[in-house]
Amino acid sequence: MSKRREIKNRETELYAKFAERDTSFIQLRESLTAKSRITFWKMAVKLKASLKRTLDLVGSAIFLLAFSPVYLITSLAILIEDGRPIFYSQTRVAKRGRHFKMWKFRSMYKNADEMKADLDSDNMTGGVIFKMKQDPRITRTGRIIRKLSIDELPQLWHVFTGDLSLVGPRPPIPAEVAEYSSWDMKRLKVTPGLTCTWQVSGRSDIDFETQVNLDIDYIKKHSILTDLALLLRTIPAVISGKGAY
């Protein structure tokens, strides 16, 4: 009887050792699988960011050269109508709340900022963003270059330097961000861009809440193919001038 009990105990002991070894092996395999998944995910994120930055660099360099005649004509038109300065700079909010100075062709009269306080009651959005049709602060040249988004062309330089991307949520001004809700703040998770989903879907005709939701949806789903598609959709949107004022 004692012999049988001894054999039984030995079998139990061996089984426990094998079970412990198998459990350790399974845990190690699961750990390695999880680590490999994390490593693969990190590599995919870095590759995606690298491809997007490459698209920005190559695309902005090509566009800067291609639109150089437009830069010259626009500069002359602004000088003739309202003199210097040709460009207008404004502080904007980029990824994670970083501020940068963004440049545009000047489309308004020189005292436009002083006139804004008297026009707040005419704000079409009634909220965070100030927009109005037939804004009296806009020059004749300004109406044309805004209609065709030519006033935004200097921002291609910001794309080249990395402050902007070709595609991404439009960069807001600090005063607008000060009124953001926690949901609105999600727009600041990525590098802002020259064009975005709502820019090719109606621009200023789209209310602020819808703009935010479209931006957040883009951030969740964006890819290089999405960016290329939005860039292609930007061409007819600019030509039509819908929602540009």
Mean pLDDT of 78-104: 94
| Higher pLDDT among residues 56 and 47, named by residue | 56
Q: For residue 60, what are the contacts with CB-CB under 8 A and spacing of at least 6? A: 156, 157, 159, 160, 166
Would residue 35 count as lying in a domain?
A: no
Q: What pLDDT is recorded for position 98?
A: 93
Q: How many domains does the chain have?
A: 1
> Which is more confident, 119 or 44?
44
Q: What is the mean pLDDT of the chain?
A: 83
Within a domain: 22: no
Residue 9: inside a domain:
no
113: domain range?
Answer: 52-240
Phi, psi of 200 (to 5 degrees): -100, 10
Does the pLDDT of residue 14 top 60, yes or no? Answer: no
**Is residue 159, in this structure, part of any structural domain at all?**
yes
Q: Count Cβ neighbours within 10 Å for each residue of 199-228 and write b for 16 or more, e otherwise.
A: bbbebbebbbeebbbbbbebbeebeeeebe
pLDDT of residue 225 exceeding 60: yes
Judge whether 198 lies within some domain.
Answer: yes
Q: Is 91 helix (H, G, I), strand (E, B) or coil?
A: strand
Q: What pLDDT band is residue 48 in, cutting at 50, 70 and 90?
A: confident
pLDDT higher than 60, residue 152? yes
The H or E element spanning position 40 is helix 2-66
Beta strands, E only, the chain: 87-93, 99-105, 165-167, 193-195
Q: What is the pLDDT of residues 166-193, one digit of tens each?
A: 999 999 999 999 999 999 999 999 999 9
Nearest to 89 by CA among 71, 74, 108, 73: 108
Q: What is the pLDDT of residue 173?
A: 93
Residue in the block written with tokens 């970083």? 98
Q: Is there a domain that residue 58 lies in?
A: yes
Confirm whether 24 is domain-assigned.
no
- Calculate mean pLDDT across residues 81-89: 93
Tracing tokens 């602020």 back to the chain, one arrives at 208
Residue-level pLDDT at 237: 81
DSSP state of 37: H
pLDDT category, 221, cuts 50, 70, 90?
A: confident
Average pLDDT in the 30-44 region? 67
Q: Is 20 helix (H, G, I), strand (E, B) or coil?
A: helix
Residue 212, in any domain of the structure: yes
What count of other Cβ atoms lies within 10 Å of the Cβ of residue 69?
8
